[in-house]
Chains A and B, each alone.
Chain A
Amino acid sequence: MLVVLRHAPHGSSWLREGLDVALVGAAFGQAVTLLFLGDGVEALVRNQQAGALGQKGTHPTLDMLAMYDIEKLLVDSESLAERGLTLEDLQLPVAPIAAQALPALFAEHAAVFNF
C-alpha cells in the first residue's frame, strides 16, 4: 500500500494520522511505501522539536519506520526544490522521485491513502 504524506508537522494532525496508518499497515503485514509530497517533505527536516505546549510532533515516529520494516521512503524532488531543501537537510535517508515517476507509483499500489 502507498501512504502519501502531504502535510507539514505541528500545524495539523494529518501527518501524525497518516503515519499511524502506515505503521498499522506495516504491523498488519502490508508492504508500505511512504511518499512525502508537497508540504509533507517538511516532515523530514532535521532538528524538529516537541511543540511548546508539549505536543509530541512526528519526528520520533520517523525513527520507528525502520523498526516496522517501512523501508521504501520516497520524497518528491520538485517539492523539495520548491521549498529550498536538499536531501542533506533531511533527518532520514530517503530516495528522491522525479515527477515523471509519480503516476506509475500511484498506479502500481493496490491501496492508496492520501493524507
Chain B
Amino acid sequence: MLLHLLNRSPASSLVHRDTLRAMGEEDRLLLIEDGVYGALMPLADRFEAIHGRLFALREDLASRGLDGRCDARVTVVDMEGFVTLTEESERTVSWF
C-alpha cells in the first residue's frame, strides 16, 4: 500500500487525475498545502473513487481558514498523523 501526497488544488491543476489513475485499490491520498482545497465541496467530489482513503492535513486547512469546512468523507490528520500514514505505507509518492 502506497501513500500519495498531493499539493495542488483540483480547481487549478489536473494533476489529481494522474494521481488517481496511479493509485492502487488500497492506496491512500493525503492532501497537503494547496491540495487541501480539494477537501471541500464541491471539489471533494473529484475524489469520490477513493472514498475512505482520502486525508487532509489539519494545519494546512487551518492556515487557509478552512478548518471545520472539510467534506465529511475526508479524514483530517495532524502532522503526527501524517508521519503515521508514512509509517503504515511502504512508500510515499508526491504529486505536484
Chains A and B touch (C-beta atoms under 8 A apart): yes
Instruction: Give the interface of A toward B (CB within 8 A).
Output: 6, 37-38, 78-79, 99, 102-107, 111-112, 114
- CB-nearest residue of chain B relative to A102? B22
Q: Does B88 contact A (CB under 8 A)?
A: no
A112, B91: Cβ atoms closer than 8 Å: yes
Instruction: Give the interface of B toward A (CB within 8 A).
Output: 2, 14-15, 18, 21-25, 27, 91, 93-95
Within 8 Å by CB of A114, from B21, B23, B95, lies B95
State the CA gap A112–B27 with chains docked (Å).
15
- CB-nearest residue of chain B relative to A107? B24
Which B residues lie within 8 Å of A104 (CB)? 24
Q: Separation in Å of the B22 CB from the closest CB of chain A?
A: 5
B15, A114: Cβ atoms closer than 8 Å: no
Using A37-B18, A99-B21, A106-B2 as known contacts, list a sample of 11 further A-B pairs with CB atoms less than 8 Å apart, ordered by residue number in A.
A37-B22, A38-B14, A78-B21, A102-B21, A103-B24, A105-B22, A106-B24, A106-B93, A107-B24, A114-B94, A114-B95
B93, A103: Cβ atoms closer than 8 Å: no
Can you name 18 A-B pairs with beta carbons within 8 Å? A6-B15, A37-B22, A38-B15, A78-B21, A99-B21, A103-B22, A103-B23, A103-B24, A103-B25, A103-B27, A105-B22, A106-B22, A106-B24, A107-B24, A111-B91, A112-B91, A112-B93, A114-B94
